[in-house]
């Protein structure tokens, strides 16, 4: 029986800085390698919100004293794919060896094609980087950045979040999985590019990792689609006195809950929508939204939220 699985790692599986990332990744590797031992073929994807913001800040500081070209968003995403991928593949390899297995691990720098006419480009919504002070927010606005105030949280820079149309390196990822290897791909949702004939041009955007992971699940014919985040289950009336965890919902119910505003834009909404997309395209694919700690229990149906067609 085929057990091909896409696992999307959320921010808490990676931490917010270099030190946190090393620790978080070690914990993550134990859970992932346990699944390899059970015979799962795994494609790991991950977010890069805090990391890509850090890169942008680094380049901004560097520019103060150096006359250099603008560092594009797509370059920043590629850097985060490289350095998060490095940490992951380094730690995963070690854990695989510790568990007495011999499975090669690699990171695929992944480009994801978006539509140049995607409406997202005229309506930036995706928060990146760290929280900003009022002063920093004002400074960003003066530079032409979009900065918004998130109720009860603070100021964040936001960029466009277009939908992924195709994953350029999907055949490479599939070939590695077919060969029984562990693959890390689509980091930070992938490097957003638009097609110009044979040329792929990087664009200023961040693709939601939940949507590119859903696209990957389709392209590699995944049997399971798992989103690991910092909640065990998706809830109705989240953070309200009448909060109620959801074990299972079908797409029709999910549509209804979305209309009622139960899932927050940019955080839980894309996860629910990504899982809906996966089961609509492949009704046999099993979906799961849960936390890293509950990964194993979630896969055996004991917890987490599953979305069915």
Query: Cα–Cα–Cα angle for 85, 124, 167, nearest 5°?
Result: 40
Smallest gap from residue 116 Cβ to ligand ADP (A): 26
Indicate the residue among 71 and 238 with the shorter CB distance to ligand ADP.
238
Look up 209 and say whether it is catalytic.
yes
Instruction: Please select the residue that binds ligand ADP; options are 230, 253, 281, 283, rule is CB under 6 A.
Output: 230
| Contact partners, residue 42, CB within 8 Å, separation at least 6 | 5, 7, 32, 35, 36, 182, 183
Indicate the residue among 94 and 255 with the shorter CB distance to ligand ADP.
255
Contact flag: residue 234 with ligand ADP (CB under 6 A): yes
Indicate the residue among 33 and 226 with the shorter CB distance to ligand ADP.
226
Contact flag: residue 125 with ligand ADP (CB under 6 A): no
| Contact partners, residue 13, CB within 8 Å, separation at least 6 | 24, 25, 27, 28, 46, 228, 292
| Calpha distance 129→53 (Å, rounded) | 3
Look up 271 and say whether it is catalytic.
yes
Catalytic residue among 174, 271, 286, 294: 271
Catalytic residue among 15, 47, 85, 126: 126
| Contact partners, residue 159, CB within 8 Å, separation at least 6 | 73, 124, 126, 128, 146, 204, 205, 206
Instruction: Please select the residue that binds ligand ADP; options are 15, 47, 129, 192, rule is CB under 6 A.
Output: 47
Indicate the residue among 268 and 285 with the shorter CB distance to ligand ADP.
268
Contact flag: residue 10 with ligand ADP (CB under 6 A): yes
Burial class from Cβ neighbours inside 10 Å (0-12, 13-18, 19+) for residue 117 reads exposed
Indicate the residue among 140 and 304 with the shorter CB distance to ligand ADP.
304
Find how far residue 15's CA is from the centre of its chain: 13
Contact flag: residue 201 with ligand ADP (CB under 6 A): no
In the three-class reduction of DSSP (H, G, I as helix; E, B as strand; rest coil), residue 133 is classed as coil
Stretch that binds ligand ADP, among 27-35, 38-46, 165-173, 264-272 (CB under 6 A): 264-272
Instruction: Please select the residue that binds ligand ADP; options are 212, 229, 273, 290, rule is CB under 6 A.
Output: 229
Q: Tokens in use for 24?
A: 């978080």
| Calpha distance 242→236 (Å, rounded) | 8
Contact flag: residue 225 with ligand ADP (CB under 6 A): no
* Site residues (vs ligand ADP, CB under 6 A): 10-11, 47, 229-231, 234-235, 238, 262-264, 267-268
């Amino acid at each position: 029986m085929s057990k091909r699985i896409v696992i999307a790692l959320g921010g808490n599986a990676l931490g917010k800085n270099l030190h946190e990332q090393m620790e978080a990744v070690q914990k993550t590797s134990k859970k992932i390698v346990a699944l390899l031992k059970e015979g799962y073929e795994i494609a790991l994807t991950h977010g890069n919100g805090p990391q890509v913001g850090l890169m942008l800040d680094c380049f901004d500081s560097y520019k103060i004293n150096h006359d250099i070209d603008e560092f594009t968003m797509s370059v920043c995403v590629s850097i985060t794919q490289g350095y998060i991928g490095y940490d992951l593949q380094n730690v995963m390899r070690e854990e695989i060896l510790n568990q007495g297995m011999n499975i090669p691990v690699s990171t695929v720098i992944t480009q994801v094609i978006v539509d140049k006419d995607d409406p997202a480009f005229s309506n930036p919504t995706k928060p990146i980087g760290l929280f900003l002070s009022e002063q920093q927010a004002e400074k960003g606005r003066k530079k032409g950045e979009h900065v918004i105030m998130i109720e009860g949280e603070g100021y964040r820079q936001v960029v466009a979040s277009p939908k992924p149309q195709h994953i350029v390196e999907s055949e490479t990822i599939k070939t590695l999985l077919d060969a029984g290897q562990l693959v890390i791909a689509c980091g930070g949702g992938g490097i957003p590019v638009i097609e110009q004939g044979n040329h792929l041009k990087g664009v200023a955007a961040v693709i939601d990792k939940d949507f590119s992971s859903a696209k990957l699940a389709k392209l590699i014919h995944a049997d399971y689609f798992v989103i690991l985040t910092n909640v065990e289950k998706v809830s109705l009336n989240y953070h309200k006195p009448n909060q109620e965890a959801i074990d299972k919902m079908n797409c029709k119910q999910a549509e209804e809950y979305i209309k009622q505003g139960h899932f927050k834009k940019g955080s839980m909404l894309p996860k629910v929508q990504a899982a809906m997309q996966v089961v609509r395209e492949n009704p046999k694919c099993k979906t799961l939204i849960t936390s890293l700690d509950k990964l194993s229990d979630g896969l055996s149906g004991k917890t987490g939220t599953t979305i069915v067609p």
